[in-house]
A and B are shown apart, each in its own frame.
Chain A
Amino acid sequence: MASVTDHTSLRDDRRSSGRMSALRLIFGAALLLLVLKAVGMLPEWLNRPPDWLIPPYAQWLDAFFNFIKGDMETGRPGLIYLTRWFSEGPLEFMLNTTANLLEGKRRWPNIGPISWSAIAAVATVIGYYLGGWRMAALAGGTFFWTALVGQWKLAMQTLSVISVAAPLAFVFGLTLGIVAWKYNWFDRAMRPILAVLQTLPFFTYLLPAVIFFKVGPTAGAVATIIYAMPPMILMTTLGLQKVSPEVVEAGKMAGCTRWQMLRHVYLPAARTEILVGVNQVIMLCLAMVVLTAFIGMPGLGAKLLAMMNSFKLGRSFEIGVTIVLLAVTLDRLSKAWVVKQPEHFEKGTPWWKRHFYTVLGCGAFVVFLGLAYLSNRVPNYTLIEGANQGNILQYLFSVLGDVHRTQDLSQGKEIDTAIKHFLDLDGIQATTEWLRWFLNVQVLIPFRNALLWVPTPAFILVIAGFAYWLAGRREAIIAAIFFSIVASTGWWDRSVITLYTVISAVVLAMLIGIPLAIWTARGAAPPLSLQGSAKDFAIGLVGLAFKRIPVLFGALLVSSLYHFFTAVEESAAFLSPTSPSLYIFGATFLVLWLAVRDWPRDKVVLTIVDTAQTFPSFIYLIPAIMLFGVNDVAVVFSILIFTLVPLTRYTVEGLRHVPPEMTEAADMSGATQVQKLTSVQLPLALPTMAVGFNQAIMFAFFMVIIAAFIGTQDLGQELQRTLAGTDLGKNFVLGICVSLMALTFDITINKWARNRKAALGLE
């Protein structure tokens, strides 16, 4: 035995020494290039790949796409005939049907629109069935809000596309998932494609969709379907693979044919994974449907864009809230559906009791349809003085059918003013001014310039070196190939800027997210006393700040609203003792504080970060610009919000799942809180944290493209530009650049996490 161990350790030693020398070689070469450049002796062709080396990928791709596309004008056959048939035939038919039912577009079957109250009632019943009163309130409340705030039609335009796209994505995803599970070669061929699809910026989905599927909802639906499909495929395959072999054998022994096996054994047994896939499909559809506003999908996203382009922050915010509510509702409902297990009924239960919720739902639907019909016969009461004012009951009855423009409760203008007011507060302005200066001048710009200064080969070497160091040789080779491809597209500088933005945002997010998560995971706040070590004190202070910051912001928002409505003269400084705003602020702070005081920390923190993430991504862009101006700080800031979520969540998760015997062992060894954290909890949580870190990077790559809306000089900007034309080749090349960089990180970090987990024996 002993000799065997010696052998392996010897081999390990040899391997690790080989690894060390390879690393030394890689970093040494990179350093040499840097030094050469610094002393001005680097030949230009080593700095950036020379033009003649750059193949015209875009033209090749254009030619390729053109070839497979075919040409409708000259009648050359190609894919476009098929796609156009699909989009103008079945797809348009389905879209028209849902559009008629939900928004009343004049198409077959010409029976819509279904009144909002009927839909809201059914949603409430479904909510109650799946998750009791809370879910009922959420589902009903969401639709109630949407209608009363005057966004019903917009929301239905969005939902009518989702209700076609999500089932189609589900069906296609399921089918492909089954095929991938059944045929190993298909799975192997599919994996890399899915990996690319999942990292491809959404702008890259949009243009081909328009070209092949006609502008408007059809293209939007297609882009949405493609975007939402990968997780469905993966979850289906995973679920089917996980079906217990005994269940499979039981099916075989029951004499199932192949089809019966799939239909009656595999699919039902994989229900949970498939439903998780459904949940993801729905969420991705919702996210994408908003983004497809860029290619002309009507609905909430288009309205949001239009509102932002006419600088209506209040209305944008309201639309954002609607989208968040819809997202949360659909998410929670579908998640409740995942865990919902069938209940048995005792023998002899009457029919209506067995189908109680179906009966209730249909009943509510019919009743509210009737009420809506009656409601459309009464005058449109409003709650506004003078303008056909009615009492609250009259008002509610008169809006059951249709909420007219005069009847909605939108507070767009008021919120507008409140937001502007809030952003104008002296304290905030001063802070952001300083941050802007510090981050931009001291951090971001020097960092960017430094990255841009690095010669391309050195850059690739360093990336590959890191991949080698973290993951292994295979990953290093992949990294080198991927980045070399990026370099060979000729979009190197823009790619580096994209990468720089991503790295900056993720690093900043780590600086905020990890302490936040550590504090969250620690349950009870450490005592804020000076007796502990200075570090403990600092951690306590950070924790205190985090729990109070949301409360603080809430209070600030309320007081600035008050400030606006009471039209206190500008001179009444906020902090002066006579300022009523100060007292309002204090009182709100107290109330909010009391309200969330008993919430467990993770609930407070995760609720906030989750909500922040569910807001449609580009809603942050305007406040970011108003706070920081059009520059990289605003860009990094808007990405940061998104990257914070996975970082926080996975760090909390990782820390929580450190085996208790290990922390107990640390306690018994007399470790201080900080020692325990740094030498037991964090190292063990690291693999899980890495998964979060990886997701953060993926989110950042996603957001950085959207941040082109603020004004960047990266790939996103070029991508956005291609949307305006028919530059399919260029669009694709840019998308692939983003995808390859993202994949490099994805592959490397995942491998590292797996290695780590294996080394720690955590799985």
Chain B
Amino acid sequence: MNSQTPVISCRNVWKLFGADPERYLARMQGEKSYDEIRADGYIAGVKNVSIEVGRGEMLVIMGLSGSGKSTLVRCFSRLHDITGGSIEVEGQDIMSLTENELIELRRNKMGMVFQSFGLLPHRTVLDNVAFPLEMRGQDRHERRARALEVIRLVGLEGREEYFPRELSGGQQQRVGIARSLAIEPDIWFLDEPFSALDPLIRREMQDEFLRLQEMLGKTIVFITHDFDEALRLADRIAIMKNGAVEQCDTPDKIVMNPATDYVAKFTEEIDKARVVHAGALAHPLNGHVPDGQPVAARTTIHDLARRLVSDSGDELPVTDDTGAVVGVLNRQAALDVLMGDG
């Protein structure tokens, strides 16, 4: 899914909070641990993170509260100035931007959705959605038309004149989403957008979100503390702890090969069969194509359960979206995953 040049690329990014972080970082000998830094009176919000986000990719950053995930995403949009390292957005070092250039970047390229919605309480739904357009000086008529369009997109027709407090939480977040989409951003940041919602609504919004993403195909950085949500949505997941990225990989790989004990704690309770795809478990073609009805690489092992149990062959062919055979699935290995021994 990754295209050639990453949309966001960050290298050795540091974000420290404290009295004089730049100086502290410059003087730091080697890399200190989170606790050592804390003992020195600084908090490591982001600690030596290097990560890339490809075009059209959805990167989910997962971590518990205080892990630095929100800080990291704010570094991407320079809501926080980083202490060290570099961040490039579409090849441009954002730390070198002037205030006006930064404003232009945000006005045209970036959209963000917030956990508590961040709606302006004194503006109607329509005015909230049109707000970024208004800020960049689009004329009244145009921005109204565009705002109505996005409002329809998120399914809020008929509520244009409502004020945020008159809406439910789910509806408010739809406004937040519509607002972030109004300027047709290339990069879309979502900071725990569904955490404040109750579970049923959350599920519904996730589906809605997937539908939108299907349509729009944006480059997305999505923050969550909910591992299930991350598995459900992500192309790749970056798991953070104490400001550092513990592991960054596809869901299948994280589930199957947790890099650290910390990551393993998350994956332990997960029903892996629902996560792991046939494609991820498949070996490359080794010259011969096994017989049998091929399975799509995109199906999860869980969905293949009946087939795995009833089939008799040891190996199954795996096909990609175009129908070409791309690999071989070992039935026993798949069954192990299904039984939870993988």
Q: Which listed segment binds A: B158-166, B199-207, B287-295?
A: B158-166
Kindly state the separation between the CA atoms of A260 and B77 in the bound complex, as whole angstroms. Answer: 19
Contact of A264 among B124, B131, B161, B179 (CB under 8 A): B131
In the complex, which residues of chain A have a beta carbon less than 8 angstroms from the beta carbon of B163?
341-344
Interface membership of A14, Cβ < 8 A: no
Known A249-B118, A341-B165; 18 more pairs at CB < 8 Å = A244-B116, A244-B118, A246-B117, A250-B120, A250-B179, A253-B77, A253-B79, A253-B106, A253-B112, A255-B135, A257-B135, A264-B134, A268-B121, A268-B123, A341-B163, A344-B124, A344-B166, A345-B161
What is the CB-to-nearest-CB distance from B186 to chain A, in angstroms, rounded to a whole number? 14
* Contact, CB under 8 Å: A255 / B132: yes
Map CB proximity to B onto A253-265 as digits: 1 under 8 Å, 0 otherwise. Answer: 1111100100011
Which residue of chain A has the shortest Cβ distance to B80 in the bound complex? Answer: A249
Most chain B beta-carbon neighbours within 10 Å: one of A253, A264, A269: A253
Pair A260/B119 contact, Cβ less than 8 Å: no
Q: Which of A250, A256, A346 contacts B118 (CB 8 A)?
A: A250
**Given A255-B136, A344-B161, A346-B161, is A271 in contact with B103 using a C-beta cutoff of 8 Å?**
no
Chain B residue numbers with a CB within 8 Å of A252 are 79, 106
Give the size category of B's interface with A: 35 or more
Which chain A residues (226-258) contact chain B, with CB distance < 8 Å?
244, 246-247, 249-257
- 28 A-B pairs in the complex with CB atoms less than 8 angstroms apart: A244-B116, A244-B118, A246-B116, A246-B118, A247-B120, A249-B118, A250-B118, A252-B79, A253-B77, A253-B79, A253-B111, A253-B189, A254-B131, A254-B179, A255-B107, A255-B136, A256-B135, A264-B120, A264-B135, A268-B120, A269-B122, A271-B122, A342-B122, A342-B124, A343-B163, A344-B163, A345-B161, A347-B160
Known contacts: A250-B179, A255-B106. The answer to whether A347 contacts B161 by CB under 8 A is: yes
Within 8 A of A (CB), among B68-86: 74, 77, 79
- Name the interface residues of B177-229: CB closer than 8 Å to any CB of A: 179-180, 183, 189
Residues of B contacting A246 with CB < 8 Å?
114-118
Binding site for A on B (CB under 8 A): 74, 77, 79, 103-104, 106-108, 110-112, 114-124, 131-132, 134-136, 160-163, 165-166, 176, 179-180, 183, 189
Instruction: Name the A residues within 8 Å of B119 (CB-CB).
Output: 247, 250
Sorted from nearest, which 5 A-B pairs have the closest CB atoms? A255-B107, A246-B118, A250-B118, A254-B132, A344-B161
Partner of B104, one of A250, A255, A260, A345: A255
Bound-state CA distance A346–B166 (Å) is 13
Judging by beta carbons under 8 Å apart, are B120 and A249 in contact?
Answer: no
- A344-B124, A344-B161 known; A253 and B110 CB under 8 Å? yes
Complex Cα–Cα for A268 and B164 (A): 14
B118 touches A257 (CB 8 A): no
A269 engages B120 (CB within 8 Å): yes
Instruction: Name which residue of chain A comes closest to B133, CB basis.
Output: A254
CB distance from B109 to the nearest CB of A (A): 10
Instruction: Report how far A268 CA is from B120 CA in the complex, Å.
Output: 8
B contact residues around A342 at 8 Å (CB): 122, 124, 163
The residue among A246, A254, A342 with the most chain B CB atoms within 10 A of its own CB is A254
Residue of A nearest to B162 (CB): A344
CB-CB under 8 A from B79, the residues of chain A are: 249, 252-253
**Contact-residue size bin, chain A (C-beta under 8 Å from the other chain):** 20 to 34
The answer to whether A249 and B161 touch across the interface, beta carbons within 8 angstroms, is no
Residues of A within 8 A of B120 (CB): 247, 250-251, 264-265, 268-269
Q: Within the complex, what minimum Cβ distance (angstroms) separates B37 from chain A?
A: 22
A250-B107 contact, Cβ under 8 Å, with A271-B122, A344-B163, A347-B161: no
Residue from the set A247, A252, A255, A345 with the largest chain B CB neighbour count within 10 Å: A255
Closest residue of chain B to A258 (Cβ to Cβ) is: B99
Residues of the B chain whose Cβ atoms lie less than 8 Å from the Cβ of A257: 103, 135
Nearest to B100 among chain A residues (CB) is A257
Judge whether A254 and B106 touch: CB under 8 Å.
yes
Contact A260/B135 with A255-B104, A255-B106, A344-B163 known, Cβ cut-off 8 Å: yes
Identity of the chain B residue whose Cβ is nearest the Cβ of A272 in the assembled complex: B121
Chain B contacts of A345 at CB under 8 A? 161
A271 CA to B180 CA, complexed, in Å: 24
Nearest CB in chain B: distance from A245 CB, A? 8
Residues in chain A near residue B115, CB distance under 8 A: 246
Distance to closest chain A CB from B129 (angstroms): 11
Chain A residues within 8 Å of B116, by CB: 244, 246
Q: How far is the CA of A576 from the CA of B207 in the complex (A)?
A: 87
Residues in chain B near residue A264, CB distance under 8 A: 120, 131, 134-135
User: Please, which residues of chain A bring their CB within 8 A of the CB of B118?
Assistant: 244, 246-247, 249-250
Query: How many angstroms from the CA of A265 to the CA of B116 in the assembled complex?
Result: 16
Instruction: Report the minimal beta-carbon distance from A256 to chain B, rounded to whole angstroms.
Output: 5
Q: Which residue of A lies closest to B122 (CB)?
A: A268
Residues of B within 8 A of A260 (CB): 135
Instruction: Please measure, in the bound complex, the distance between the C-alpha atom of A260 and the C-alpha atom of B133, giving whole angstroms.
Output: 12
With A and B bound together, what is the CA distance between A268 and B119 in angstroms? 11
Complex CA–CA separation, A721 to B111 (angstroms): 66
Within 8 A of B (CB), among A335-358: 341-347
Residues of A within 8 A of B179 (CB): 250, 254
> Roughly how many angstroms separate A252 CA and B189 CA in the complex, as a whole number?
13
Closest B residue, CB atoms, query A257: B103
B74: A residues at CB distance < 8 A: 249
Which residues of B have CB within 8 Å of A254?
106-107, 131-132, 135, 179
List residues 264-300 of chain A with CB under 8 A from any CB of chain B. 264-265, 268-269, 271
Kindly list chain B residues whose C-beta atoms are within 8 Å of the C-beta of A344: 124, 161-163, 166
Nearest CB in chain B to that of A349: its residue: B161
Question: Given the complex, which residues of A lie within 8 Å of B166, measured CB to CB?
Answer: 344
Considering the complex, give the chain A residue whose CB is closest to the CB of B74: A249
Residue among A251, A271, A344 facing the most chain B CB atoms (10 A cut-off): A344
A35 to B162, CA, bound (A): 75
**B112 contact from A249, A265, A347, Cβ within 8 A:** A249
Q: How far is the CA of A264 from the CA of B112 in the complex (A)?
A: 18
A345-B160 Cα distance, complex, nearest whole Å: 10
Q: Which residue of B lies closest to A268 (CB)?
A: B122
Contact of B103 among A255, A265, A343, A346 (CB under 8 A): A255
Q: Which residue of A lies closest to B182 (CB)?
A: A254
Nearest A residue to B102 via CB reads A255
Nearest chain A CB to B163's CB is how many angstroms away? 6
The distance from the CB of A465 to the nearest CB of chain B, in whole angstroms, is: 36
Q: How far is the CB of B69 from chain A (nearest CB, A)?
A: 15
Write the nearest CB–CB distance from B235 to chain A, whole angstroms: 23
A450 to B173, CA, bound (A): 68
Cα distance A252–B132 in the bound complex, in angstroms? 9
Q: Which residue on B lies nearest to A252, using beta carbons?
A: B79
Contacts of A251 in B (CB 8 A): 120
CA gap between A254 and B185 in the complex, in Å: 11
Q: Once the chains are docked, how many angstroms separate the CA of A506 from the CA of B258?
A: 69
Please name all residues of chain A whose beta carbon is closer than 8 Å to the beta carbon of B124 when the two chains form the complex. 342, 344
